[in-house]
Amino acid sequence: MKKLLVSLVLAATDRIAALLGLESGLSLTDPIVTIQLRRNMSTLESLSCLRKSRWLLVASLVLLPQLLFAQWTASVGAESGDLGRQALAFLPNEIWIHVGDSITWKLVTKIEPHTVTFLIANQIRNPFFVGCPGYTPDNSPFDGTACVSSPEMMNGQTFTVTFPVAGNFKLSCLFHENMQGTVHVLDLAEKLPHDQAFYDNQAKRDSKAMLNDMLQDMSKDGHGQHQPANAVMVGLGEVVTTGGGTRTLSVLRFMHDKVTIHKGDTVEWTSGDVITPHTITFGTEPVDVIDPSANVFVDTDGARHGVINATSDSMHSGFILGAPQDRIGLAPAPLGVTRFRVTFSNPGTYPYICALHDGSGMRGSVIVLP
């Protein structure tokens, strides 16, 4: 029993000695061994200190950015309860931050998609389905040298961008041309003009103001050539600007959504929006919503026109949209297709939709009396 205990103690001593970097077989009471032990013990202590400080370093690397660099938030888009009014806007659309800060944009619209996109200077703007080309991951840094873009987003989705260098950067939505913002990235030594609470209030106030804006119903003016009773204004749009760029209010509705005419009469739809295209679509929705269906021809004044003979007929206007703005240094913008006409040969009820916005309730009907 005693022998067993001794051998166990010796084995344990060897194990400890090995752990402390001592050769097996040396006595722990040996003076040289004691010195070596002390030295090794202090190495161990400093190792454990180092380990502790390494953890501190790791913790500080994780925590410090959160302490040093601010995380800002902004919202994208706003809409009325019936989804008919869309504020195509970054809210706020101008924000001042420090180098290293990041901004998280949150999409608050249920029906209208947007992107959060930072194009680089002189980059040709792509449609939303092309992106940068492609899309960058969440938390991408933007320093002005490479494009950063979220994919199509809506309904509570978020996208965060960090800003590692100072500068003034333009923010765009690839869906909506007049939906811009500016991010001013200042050096740490510079004072920021506003805090998060300021931007939250501004976003709330501006989205309310945009959605409650009283737009003039242009359809009441008519244009003299056609009966106002047969005229339908297609959407209404208004572009407004702030110091951070433009933004748009779009009303996704047919203004006189029920029109009653007699057989042989023509109904005329006119675009009231310069940013958001719409369609007038009877019957089956086509795969290509941009172009008109084959049974549509063009009047001499440039308006598209079709003849519907039966309630079972399908007809699609293609996009109708106000002409784009001219810019100095560029060729004049084309007139654009702003009108669509349909002549109804027979009585009946003819429901139609906007193929882009029927989900938000953009529908109408034409009642044709004998």
The residues of the shown chain that bind Cu ion, judged by CB under 5 A, are 278, 354, 356-357, 362
Q: How far is the CB of 290 from Cu ion (least distance, A)?
A: 13
205 phi, psi to nearest 5 deg: -65, -45
Q: Is 319 helix (H, G, I), strand (E, B) or coil?
A: coil
At its nearest, how many Å lie between Cu ion and the CB of residue 322? 13
CB nearer Cu ion, residue 244 or residue 322: 322
Closer residue to Cu ion, CB minimum distance, 39 or 110: 110
Give least dist CB 277 to Cu ion, A: 7
Minimal distance in Å, beta carbon 111 to Cu ion?
11
For CA atoms 117, 121, 126, 127, the dihedral sign is positive
Q: How big is the CA angle at 169 (ends 333 and 86), to the nearest 5 degrees?
A: 60
Pick the closer one to Cu ion by CB: 278 or 304.
Answer: 278
> Which CB sits closer to Cu ion, 185 or 354?
354
Q: Which is nearer to Cu ion, 186 or 231 (CB)?
A: 231
* C-beta of 74 vs 83, nearer to Cu ion: 83
Tracing tokens 């600007």 back to the chain, one arrives at 241
3-state DSSP of 288-316: CCCCCCCCEEECCCCCEEEEECCCCCCEE
CB of 112 to Cu ion, least distance (A): 11
Judged by beta carbon, residue 236 or residue 354, the one nearer Cu ion is 354
Could you tell me which of 200, 83, 76 has the C-alpha nearest to residue 150? 76
Give Cα 325 distance to the centre of its chain. 24
Least distance CB 312 / Cu ion (angstroms): 23
Residues whose CB is less than 8 angstroms from the CB of residue 16 and which lie 6 or more positions away in sequence, other chains included: 28
Encoding tokens for residue 365? Answer: 């009907």
What does the chain come to in residues? 370
CB of 360 to Cu ion, least distance (A): 8
Q: Taking CA 287 as the corner, what is the angle to CA 282 and CA 292, rounded to the nearest 5 degrees? A: 55
Q: State the Cα–Cα distance between residues 323 and 302, nearest whole angstrom.
A: 12
Q: How far is residue 234's CA from residue 254's CA, in Å, rounded to a whole number? A: 5
Q: Which is nearer to Cu ion, 261 or 362 (CB)?
A: 362
Both structure tokens of 143: 């320093």
CA contacts within 13 A on the Cβ side of 90: 33
Query: Smallest distance, Å, CB 174 to Cu ion?
Result: 18
CA 287 vs CA 116, 157, 174, 316: distances in Å: 27, 27, 22, 11
